[in-house]
Structure 1
Amino acid sequence: MSASDIYENAPLGKLINYGDRAPKPLARQDRLMNALPARAAGIPAGFLDQTASNRTSRATRILHAADHITPFLERGRPIGANARERALQRPARQNGIPGELVEASLNRYLVPALGSRSIHHVTDTDIANITNKIVAGGHPQAANTAFWYMRAFSTGVANRRNGSSRFPREELENPAPIVKRKRVVNDAELAAIWTGCEPEPGDIGYSFGSIVKLLMLTGQRRTEVAAMRWSELNLEAGTWELSGDRTKNEEPTLIPLSTLAVSVPQSVPKTNDTFVFPARGNGKSHFSGYAKGKKALDGKVNIDGVALENWTLHDLRRTLATNLGRRQVLPHVIEHILNYKAASLTDIGEIYNLYTYVKEKREVLQMWSNHIEWMIKQAAEMDALAA
């Protein structure tokens, strides 16, 4: 029997004569015994072999989920069967899609729930308790999103740290049924939203309403608009150019701006050299206070004194696409406006048809802008008659 076989197979506590013929306990036993307290605390094997000065700082990193969120976003995510988990493969990008949303969700829900417990000890029950509270608060789809993010995070961090995460199991179900929204905002509601977006007297800087107006006029995604850079805009030519690292599908796109759309950034004071809509008190980042902004806007939007309910910012994107379809705009033009993977194109079409439809997009978006201007005028005339 080889020396290595003796070393690995000898019972714990066995004494072996080494070269100097002095009986000594196996080093393997020492390591295992020293590791027992660490295992109970969720600390990986080998942790206690480090110097005392390093142990405290590393214990903090291991036991606190918050310390692992940024590294998790920067290095990419584990591959999962779920489409949303596959979307998390990309590392966090400059505009925070999807890293910013993942980070916000984890910090809001997972970190407070775990406290100082090790991320290795995340259980199904922990996740169920978190998501059930979100569902009970009236946000079932937010619960699903938080569930997907926590599953990706737990798998990617706990398993990577030589730990054995008890979550997720493949058979775990979403906390709420997945519902595809079909809400299309009608003309009267669009006019009311636009009116609510107008700045109040005495407002300084830009308003959240400016972002909502651009969502309505361009049909782009909310973070793409909120993270708009001055360098992306050519207001004289009426264009807004997004690089691939600024879009959800990582495809570059050029959005022709209608006359009304051009007027929105023109009305915004340039208080930041990078962002058109910088974060409040943080010039290095862009606006991200969607929930607070939407709540304030909801308080100003009403039709005949009745508050407008059950609408989201993303509904404006669907509303634009639906209205263009009603006006017989060709599907592939709508898809290019939305910068959405063209379901109407065959594989051959995707490979060989590299035309970007800028001219067609400009005509269509100007038509949509003219319609919105007409609605605003009609609403103002109706209000004047009512007064």
Structure 2
Amino acid sequence: MIIELIIGGPPDAIAKTDRRVGSQPDVDEVSERVSEGKDRGDRPPPKQIAYIDTMDRGVALVLVLSSGGTRAWRVLTYENGKAISRKIKGGTYPAMSVKAARDKAWEHFENPSKFKAQAEAGTFEQVADAWFKRHVEHNKLRSGYELRRHLDRYILPKWKNLQFHEIGRRKVTELLDDIADKHGPSSADAILSTVRSIMTWWEGRDDDYRSPIGRRMRRKKPTKRERVLNHDELRAVWKAAGECGTFGALVRMLLLTAQRRDKVATMQHSDISGDGTWTIQKEEREKGTAGIIRLPAKAIEIIEALDKVAGNPFVFAGRAGKALNHYSQGKAELDEFLPEMPNWTLHDLRRTARTLMSDAGARPDIAERVLGHAIAGVGGIYDRSQYLQQKSEALELLARHIEGIVNPQENIINIGGRRS
């Protein structure tokens, strides 16, 4: 026997009926009746109508119809004599059939601890906050700011109040499709990485949870960049950088030092000693850096040509006491001064500088140390030398080679002691 329970209606709105749970005509009929009550305004419409199908002693399947039209499956069981109702994961009608809902109800009856764990997981926001605190902040991840931005801008507006265990592959796909359409495939893949981290972290803490993230969910095939600027392009970029103020100086410094963009951008005056030695700051859990390098004379000239900003400790000063960080805007402005040429990125300058060091005759192992790359094998474990002198010589070779490219000298022929 099916019980129809009208919640929020008149006190006597409980009746027995022979209708089967999940019968499409009956569900539609009830929805229409709720809507009619709203339209007539003759009495407050019921907030919910629940069909309760007692499957066996101690377990019942419940279909709850809200006044808004949502049709949600729940399972009703008893624990210590008390009736407990829980949502069925992914359980909305007609997306989940009657048979599937009954199967889920039986699963709950046979393994209530699993469903209890699902309920205790809470909303996505609750799990995400726990992940951020116990994984991101605890491990002092350098990407914490960006991960927080992913959550606040892209993920939480969609999933904030969803039950964590109810988020399956379909919802993940819908989120990624929406982001790819509005912001591009690269942004979608970045969000996928954050969602995967959250779900993998929770999977390691919950016996019954399995992450819905699967293969082939990336929107963009990863590619390994190989772009190196040729000599004509290097001359053009160097010349254009001279027209772009502080950002242009940053571009030239990237070429002269072969360091990562953020390391150069956050260089502080206090990091540079009187002899031009730059101590590159390193944070916890960060990739390797060059440690200490002595800047070539050309790099010192660039720094001395920049105005110091009162109250701003950074060489490449931005606004409000911060380091310059408008990379996209600066790159777009610089591109306006360039002839037509293939796309390039600021990181391509680091690869270009590494290539030029080899062209200039620098030892490969020293060039790798300039870039801060890990040295493989026993040498990387036991050899703790800073190689300051060798790195300084490599950077001087690089600076001279760049100077020869951007300011090429015409061939000079001596005839009888005279130049022509």
Decide: shared fold, TM above 0.5.
yes
Q: 1:224, 1:247 within 8 Å by CA — same for their partners in 2?
A: no
SS of 1:175's equivalent in the other structure is coil
Tell me, what secondary structure is at the counterpart of 1:244?
coil
1:69-108 → structure 2 map (5 Å cutoff): 69=132, 72-76=135-139, 91-92=140-141, 97-107=142-152
Give the SS at the match of 2:84: helix
Count of paired positions: 313
State the match for 2:368 in structure 1: 335
TM-score (norm 2): 0.60
Aligned pairs for 1:307-322 (under 5 A) are 308-322=341-355
Q: Report the equivalent of 2:333.
A: 296
Separation in 2, partners of 1:140, 1:39: 27
Cα distance, 1:288 vs. partner?
Answer: 3.5
| 1:60 positional shift | 9.5
Structure 2: distance between partners of 1:45 and 1:125: 18
Q: Which amino acid aligns with 1:361?
A: K
Given the superposition, is the C-alpha separation of residues 47 and 119 from structure 1 closer, same or farther in structure 2, using an over 3 Å criterion?
closer
Within a 5 Å distance, the mapping from 1:325-364 to structure 2 comes to 325-343=358-376, 346-347=377-378, 349-364=379-394
Structure 1 Cα separation of the partners of residues 382 and 303 of structure 2 = 35
Tell me, yes or no, if the aligned pair for 2:360 and 2:398 is still in contact at 8 Å.
no
1:231 aligns with 2:275: no
Distance 1:28 1:252 in 2: 65
1:33 maps to 84
Q: TM-score, normalised by structure 1?
A: 0.65
Identify the structure with bigger relative contact order (alpha carbons < 8 Å, sequence gap 6+).
1
**1:35-60, Cα deviation, whole Å (9 max, x unpaired):** 55999899977879xxxxxxxxx979
Is the Cα contact below 8 Å between 2:125 and 2:160 reproduced in 1?
no
Match in the other structure for 2:112? none
State how far apart, in whole Å, the 1-side matches of 2:324 and 2:80 are.
55
Aligned position for 1:178: 222
How many Å separate the matches in 1 of 2:287 and 2:408?
Answer: 37
Q: 1:253, CA displacement in angstroms?
A: 0.7
In structure 2, how many angstroms separate the alpha carbons of the residues matched to 1:43 and 1:213?
A: 59
Q: Which structure has greater helix proportion?
A: 1
Partner of 2:126: 62
1:244 lines up with 2:282 in the alignment: yes
Matches within 5 A, 1:84-163: 91-92=140-141, 97-107=142-152, 109-114=154-159, 116-117=161-162, 120-131=165-176, 143-156=188-201
Deviation at 1:370, TM superposition (A): 2.3
CA distance in 1, matches of 2:119, 2:185: 42
Give the drift of 1:368. Answer: 1.5
**1:7 aligns to what?**
none
Distance 1:251 1:257, change over 3 A: closer
Residues 61 and 180 of structure 1, relative CA distance in 2, 3 Å threshold: closer
Percent identity between matched residues is: 25
Tell me how far apart the structure 2 counterparts of residues 332 and 216 of structure 1 sit (CA, whole Å). Answer: 19
What is the rounded CA distance, in whole Å, between the counterparts of 1:268 and 1:224 in structure 2? 19
SS of 1:176's equivalent in the other structure is coil
1:216 matched to 2:255: yes
Distance 1:47-1:123 versus aligned 2 partners, 3 A rule:
closer
CA contact (8 A) 1:243 1:252 kept: no
CA 1:137–1:160: 2 relative to 1, 3 Å: same
Quote the offset at 1:179 in angstroms. Answer: 1.4
Q: Which amino acid aligns with 1:369?
A: A
Which stretch shows the higher mean deviation, 173-182 or 370-379?
Answer: 370-379
Cα deviation for residue 220 of structure 1 reads: 1.0
* 1:170-202 deviation per Cα after TM superposition (whole angstroms, max 9, x unaligned): x455433221111111122122222222355xx
Partner of 1:192: 236
Structure 2 residue matching 1:334: 3-state secondary structure: helix
After superposition, the CA RMSD in angstroms is 4.2
Unpaired segments of 5 or more residues in structure 1? 1-10, 14-24, 49-57, 77-90, 201-205, 380-387
2: CA distance, partners of 1:140 / 1:46 = 33
Judge conservation of contact 2:258–2:354 (CA < 8 Å) in 1: yes
Measure, in 2, the Cα distance between the counterparts of 1:229 and 1:289.
18
Identify the residue that residue 84 of structure 1 maps to in structure 2: none
Compared CA separation, residues 106 and 332, structure 1 to 2 (3 A): farther
Superposed displacement of residue 260, structure 1: 1.7
Q: Deviations over 1:104-130 (max 9, x none)?
A: 455554345546545554433344445
Change (3 A) 1:208 1:359: same
Bigger Rg, which one: 2
> How far does the alpha carbon of each residue in 1:50-108 deviate from its partner, in whole angstroms, 9 at most, with x for none?
xxxxxxxx979528x589657652123xxxxxxxxxxxxxx22xxxx333444445555
* Mapped partners of 1:172, 1:361: distance in 2: 43
Partners of 1:217 and 1:368 within 8 A in 2 = yes
- The aligned counterpart of 2:399 is 369
Residue segments in structure 2 that go unaligned for 5+ positions in a row: 1-56, 60-76, 93-114, 410-420
The 1:193–1:251 alpha-carbon spacing in structure 2 relative to 1, beyond 3 Å, is closer
**Structure 1: distance between partners of 2:165 and 2:318:** 34
1:199 and 1:209 in contact (8 A); partners too: yes
